Amino acid sequence: MLDARMTGEVRRRAALRRDLLPMPAIVIADRPAWRKCARPVDNRCEDSRMRGQATVLHLDLDAFFAAVEQRDKPSLRGKAVVVGGVGPRGVVATASYEARRHGVRSAMPMSEARSRCPQAAFLSPRFEAYRRSSEVLMTRLRQLSPLVEPLSLDEAYVDLEHLTDVAGGDIRDVGRLAGDLRADITRLTGGLTASVGVGTSKLVAKIASDLAKPDGCVTVAPGTEQELIRPMGVGVIPGVGPATAERLRRIGVHTVAELEAVPPRELVQLLGAAVGQTLARLARADDDRPVVPERETKSVSVEDTFETDLVDAALLTAVVDRMSARVAERLSRERLSGRTVTLKVRRHDFGTHTRSVTLAGPTDDSRVIARLARGLLRDVDASDGIRLLGVGVSGLADWIQDDLFQEVEELPVLVDDRSERRDEQRRHGRWWPGSDLWHTEHGAGWVWGAGSGRVTVRFETATTPAGPVRTFAADDPALSAAPPAGPIASQS
């Protein structure tokens, strides 16, 4: 878990920040009005159905996992926090902005993060807490518009087209709406901050929210999109990760402006028809991809009931591999890819369980699906026999959301939905740094450090001041693992 190479997304962000130049094209909610059908820069494709108004909103929470940790652990507020795999081969999932100042980044090996920022708190992830905050976020976004397309736990597109105050075309209304939204999210999640970008397309809204980070809002006025993206590196274009960027670099293309200057037919020759044409359009900020709240096909899965219950691990693994290949085949036939891989298991006694893992980016690669499904299978006790197995992929996305030429074998796992991890912690007396626990006398706290048969606990929660630290024997019967106790205001 959490040990892998950088995702296209992380790299895209890094490229965006690296290539940041002064950008006069950005209007921050202060332009009085805009043209209803702005299309001033006309080297876009003729059949484009671009919007004339800035009605696509992209929202992304700031330093999400680390911000949740700082919310729930008052002693860490304002401090360097690194969340990730704490084992020897672990990588950083995210770091608080305080830790980023020391050069700690997502997908960096934990060992490197420790040497760059030894004073940071190094915590293992608490997915349940992140999921809860994500639910609050998505519910609030759906109050704004029925068209919400989540991209990950902390990120979504929202289509504002139907809103009358925005449809009038006054950019100040968009700015007001985004401001109210951000304030509400901070209140409802108990203190998380969000960055928002608004523009005429998904491409521009996402670039804008990156420019707004942290805790800001950037609205790009219609007609200024190309001016905005031309000086940026090609990595800002969705689908351009290192592999695609390398192909472009070989023909001397580094910036979006240089990509725009390449005749589309040459791009098609270089990259193939689908990718070449797509990049030619996106380089012109020509993006009419709709906000898709729920894809028609929500998941692709395959399952089989066996005539006799299976107990043999090698046989079960072979079945999972075959099912993964069938799922991958169906995904690619329908030009879909997905981020969540689920394993369904029915035991001899008809007890049915599903487990899932969620990747940082979508995949349709049978090797990736099989690797994850096998990992989930390893946690299944098959000794009494398995009646049914199923493999599925959900969280489906269109194919453009990651590096078009990336080798996807090692995409990092974002959410590992194995609820028994907590029970396992209790059973084995192993404590992960950062996890929640309960002491019969001192109440709620979290694991500050563990090892050599001892566990050090800080007794504090989101609603208390920074609390005291105490050390116990790791198997002290007064201690038990607890669910996260994060503060979430009720939705109003």
Active-site residues, by number, are 155
Q: Which stretch binds ligand DCP (CB under 6 A): 55-63, 73-81, 293-301, 420-428?
A: 55-63
Number of neighbouring beta carbons within 10 Å of residue 279? 29
| Closer residue to Mg ion in complex, CB, 413/447 | 413
Number of residues that bind ligand DCP (CB under 6 A): 22
- In this structure, are residues 68 and 129 in contact, taking their beta carbons and an 8 Å threshold? yes
The item of ligand DCP, Mg ion, none sharing an interface with residue 93, based on CB under 5 to 8 Å by kind, is ligand DCP
- In this structure, are residues 220 and 229 in contact, taking their beta carbons and an 8 Å threshold? no
Alpha carbon of 436 to those of 120, 388, 411: distances in Å? Answer: 19, 35, 28
Query: CA 442: distance to chain centroid?
Result: 36
| Closer residue to ligand DCP in complex, CB, 360/393 | 360
Under the binding rule (CB under 6 A), the answer on residue 109 touching ligand DCP is: no
Angle, alpha carbons 399-405-409 (nearest 5°): 85
Least distance (Å) between residue 17 CB and ligand DCP:
9
| Closer residue to ligand DCP in complex, CB, 221/360 | 360
Least distance (Å) between residue 406 CB and ligand DCP:
13
Under the binding rule (CB under 6 A), the answer on residue 65 touching ligand DCP is: yes
Residue 194 structure tokens: 């969000």
Q: Which stretch binds ligand DCP (CB under 6 A): 57-65, 159-167, 238-246, 264-272?
A: 57-65
Q: Where are the alpha helices (DSSP H) in 161-286?
A: 164-167, 171-188, 202-212, 225-229, 242-249, 256-261, 264-271, 273-283
Any long-range contacts for 469-473 (C-beta under 8 Å, 24+ apart)? 470/442, 472/439
Under the binding rule (CB under 6 A), the answer on residue 64 touching ligand DCP is: yes
Under the binding rule (CB under 6 A), the answer on residue 62 touching ligand DCP is: yes
Least distance (Å) between residue 487 CB and ligand DCP:
19
Residue type, 408: V
As a residue count, the chain comes to 492
Spatial neighbors of 47 by CB under 8 A, at least 6 apart, are: none
| Closer residue to ligand DCP in complex, CB, 74/214 | 214
Range 154-163 burial, b when 16+ CB lie within 10 A, else e = bbbbbbbeeb
Under the binding rule (CB under 6 A), the answer on residue 60 touching ligand DCP is: yes
Under the binding rule (CB under 6 A), the answer on residue 196 touching ligand DCP is: no
Under the binding rule (CB under 6 A), the answer on residue 80 touching ligand DCP is: no
Which residue carries 């084995």 as its tokens?
428
| Closer residue to Mg ion in complex, CB, 60/365 | 60
Contact footprint for Mg ion (CB under 5 A): 60-61, 64, 154
- In this structure, are residues 267 and 250 in contact, taking their beta carbons and an 8 Å threshold? no
Residue 30 structure tokens: 């202060």
Least distance (Å) between residue 8 CB and ligand DCP:
10
Closest CA to 5 of 337, 403, 383, 352: 403
Residue type, 88: P
Least distance (Å) between residue 165 CB and ligand DCP:
28
Distance CA 472, CA 478 (A): 9
Least distance (Å) between residue 133 CB and Mg ion:
12
Least distance (Å) between residue 37 CB and ligand DCP:
33
Task: Please list every residue from 386 through 415 that binds ligand DCP, using CB under 6 A.
Answer: 412, 414
Least distance (Å) between residue 84 CB and ligand DCP:
7
Mark 118-157 with x for binding to ligand DCP (rule: CB under 6 A) and - for no binding.
----------------------------------x-xx--
DSSP string, 128-184: HHHHHHHHHHHHHHHHH-S-EEEEETTEEEEE-TT-HHHHT--HHHHHHHHHHHHHH
| Closer residue to ligand DCP in complex, CB, 193/324 | 193
Under the binding rule (CB under 6 A), the answer on residue 107 touching ligand DCP is: yes
| Closer residue to ligand DCP in complex, CB, 50/57 | 57
Under the binding rule (CB under 6 A), the answer on residue 360 touching ligand DCP is: yes
**Sheet strands (E) in 226-351:** 299-310, 337-347
Residue type, 155: E
Q: Which stretch binds ligand DCP (CB under 6 A): 62-70, 240-248, 282-290, 476-484?
A: 62-70
| Closer residue to ligand DCP in complex, CB, 70/244 | 70
Task: Please list every residue from 208 through 227 that binds ligand DCP, using CB under 6 A.
Answer: 213-214
Among 61, 76, 205, 237, interactor with ligand DCP by CB under 6 A: 61
List interacting residues with ligand DCP (CB under 6 A): 2, 7, 9-10, 60-65, 93-94, 106-107, 152, 154-155, 213-214, 360, 412, 414
